[in-house]
Chains A and B, each alone.
Chain A
Amino acid sequence: MTDPSDTTAERLSTRPTARLRSLAWVARRIGGGLFVLWMVATVIFFALRLIPGDPVDAILGGPGSQASAEAVAQIRTDYGLDQPLIVQYFLAMGKLAVADFGTSYALKVAVAPYVLTQLWSTLVLTIASMVVAWILAVALTLVTSGRGGPARAVGSGLELLAAAVPHFWLASLLIIVLSNTLHLLPPISVPGPLGLILPVITLALPLTGFLGQLMRESLANAYEQPFVLSARARGESEWGVRLRHVLRHAALPGISLSGWAFGSLLSGAVVVETIFARPGLGRTLLSAVSIRDIPVVTAVAILSALTFIIVTLATDAIDRIVDPRVAKQ
């Protein structure tokens, strides 16, 4: 292993090919991403048709509706549900290809703008949580890394607990302590930054545990590298070594995992949004699945997959920038 900065000269000399290679890489990734999106849409389409019950019931507002046979038949034709399944599939894919997500069965509104509003709310939550988790994890590892036994033991113990705590339990504890006992913060998510505090803490703490565990390990490895010794020999201060040399290495596995972490935050958002009664993609998904609102579930699935693909692409790109060795492999 060498310090990534050592390869700068080499990179300069091979710049045109490197750029071409990067472009090819991006193109390949975008193609792969589109393929994954199509597969996601296909899986979701058939999986949703496997849910027992008639979709017409969902459109009419539940199996209890007293609709006449003509009304039911009318709806079946309107929504194209009288076509053979394979025809429905190609019609649906055709519409998705031009980003037409249709009309919600339950809400009778256009799905795309509705789900996008929800996505915005969830993105604010997840991005804020991600930022908070990174700051906490970096601070925790840096402060406890070089120290002796006790500090490290406390640090890794905290990380272990944080990583083992279920979101919904952490949320309940925060409500009990901060809202019901100390009356500091509202137990449900009110609009504005104040309502964001508890949901963000809930999502960020477990992620902090994961990132912290990961960084601690790579930090320990980085400390043993020759470039740390040479930096020390040059007379750099302890914090200079930590911030300029070691952190860069320690952050790598965390960065490559951020894509995965983002996906898990979306799962966590279902629980957090439900507990704090906060609008968002997660809560929309939960209710849409339970009332079988096929267009909404499809849109949520495709949007989450798209977000995941974009975030993974971005983190892989950051990986290549932070550590040029990655691109060479």
Chain B
Amino acid sequence: MTEILAGRLRRNNHAGPATNRSQKLGRNGGALLAIVALLFILIAALAPQLLTSADPDAVAPVDAFQSPSSTHFFGTDESGRDVYTRVVFGAANSLFIGIAATIVGLGLALILGMLGGLGGRVGDFVSTRVVEVMFALPGLLLALIFIAIAGPGVVTSTVAVGLSTAPGYARIIRSQLRSVRNSGYVEAATVLGHSRLRIVVQHILPGALAPIFVLGTLGVGQAIVWASSLGFLGLGVAPPAAEWGAMLSSGRTYIDVAWWLTVFPGLAIVATAASFTVLGRALNERTRQGGLG
């Protein structure tokens, strides 16, 4: 999906701002909805007690497999644990992995992208080949092998997801840095006789930073989806902890009797991923129109 973002960022100059008024209003409304949803998720992640008074790990075998009701909004699971509470408490894990994985991916990509965009011919050759090799391997294969080496867990799946998203980011950052390097103000700085390092730090990196920030926002949602896929395959966070992917994985066993174990954690993932995408697009629109502020 990062490739798609690449296209989107590249076409910045061509796509005009939202022309028609109702369209603009619709986009702003969507962005507002996304921000509200994300605030809600952020509260769930930082202070889950505000949203639920129950204990996510409280086992009550008598109450197992209750369908959604006014006492258990999302029903209960095979041990009688409240699914709503577990979804709320799962936000922290999923959000942390999503954001941290995106940072890891962008960090790796920044190294590769800088090597390619600013490192001269040799640097560009090396970085392009590395990115090509990473692209040729399906992302999940990289992730699976990395997990096999490091053992499953939060940190491992974070790095695994970062690793598999890095090549896409690297391509975008490389072309971004290249276009900034060839822009008028960098040329002006060169003519003024500024040192190479100063030009890179003072002019090129800040120029490329806003698009990278947008890229990261758009990427977090996808990273959460990725991480939950790993959790679903049983390779993410260890089972007793509440993590959306892991919840879906254990809910799969009971898919014939308890649909709510599958539906609600999945809804949380989709809502989070879609909100980050909408927010990222709104930011993209703003950076297009000049500055993030």
Question: Do A and B share a complex?
Answer: yes
Residues in A lying within 8 Å of B, measured CB to CB: 32, 35-37, 39-40, 43-44, 47-48, 50-52, 149, 152-153, 160-161, 163-169, 172-173, 175-176, 180, 210, 213-214, 217-218, 220-221, 253, 257, 260, 263-264, 266-267, 270-271, 274-275, 282, 285-286, 289-290, 292, 297, 300-301, 304-305, 308-309
A172's partner among B137, B248, B273 (CB-CB below 8 A) is B248
Q: Is B15 touching A166 in the complex (CB atoms < 8 A)?
A: no
Question: In the complex, A160 Cα to B278 Cα: how many Å?
Answer: 8
By a CB distance below 8 angstroms, the chain A residues around B269 are 166, 169
Q: Is A36 touching B233 in the complex (CB atoms < 8 A)?
A: no
Question: In the complex, A180 Cα to B140 Cα: how many Å?
Answer: 29
Across the interface, name the chain B residue whose C-beta is closest to A282: B140
Q: Is B137 touching A257 in the complex (CB atoms < 8 A)?
A: no
B7's partner among A167, A253, A285 (CB-CB below 8 A) is A253
Majority-rule SS of B interface residues: helix
Known interface pairs A168-B229, A169-B262; A149-B23 also in contact (CB < 8 Å): yes
Q: Is A164 touching B233 in the complex (CB atoms < 8 A)?
A: no
Residues in B lying within 8 Å of A, measured CB to CB: 1, 3-4, 7-8, 11, 14-15, 20, 22-23, 26, 129, 132-133, 135-141, 144-146, 148-149, 168, 221, 225, 228-229, 232-233, 248, 251-252, 255-256, 259, 262-263, 266, 269-270, 273-274, 277-278
Q: Is B278 touching A305 in the complex (CB atoms < 8 A)?
A: no
By a CB distance below 8 angstroms, the chain B residues around A168 are 228-229, 232, 248
A290's partner among B7, B26, B148 (CB-CB below 8 A) is B148
Question: In the complex, A271 Cα to B141 Cα: how many Å?
Answer: 12
Q: Is A166 touching B228 in the complex (CB atoms < 8 A)?
A: yes
Known interface pairs A149-B22, A304-B137; A286-B274 also in contact (CB < 8 Å): no
Known interface pairs A160-B278, A176-B255; A301-B7 also in contact (CB < 8 Å): no
The smallest C-beta distance from B246 to any residue of chain A, in angstroms, reads 12
Q: Is B138 touching A160 in the complex (CB atoms < 8 A)?
A: no
Across the interface, name the chain A residue whose C-beta is closest to B136: A305
Q: List 22 A-B contacts (CB under 8 A).
A: A39-B129, A40-B137, A47-B146, A50-B149, A149-B22, A165-B270, A172-B248, A180-B256, A210-B1, A214-B4, A214-B8, A217-B7, A257-B3, A260-B3, A260-B135, A263-B138, A263-B139, A270-B138, A270-B140, A289-B148, A301-B141, A305-B137
Known interface pairs A173-B263, A213-B4; A271-B138 also in contact (CB < 8 Å): no
The smallest C-beta distance from B147 to any residue of chain A, in angstroms, reads 8
Question: In the complex, A169 Cα to B262 Cα: how many Å?
Answer: 7
A214's partner among B7, B23, B229, B273 (CB-CB below 8 A) is B7
Q: Is A40 touching B266 in the complex (CB atoms < 8 A)?
A: no
Across the interface, name the chain B residue whose C-beta is closest to A268: B140
Q: Is A176 touching B262 in the complex (CB atoms < 8 A)?
A: yes
Q: Is A172 touching B139 in the complex (CB atoms < 8 A)?
A: no
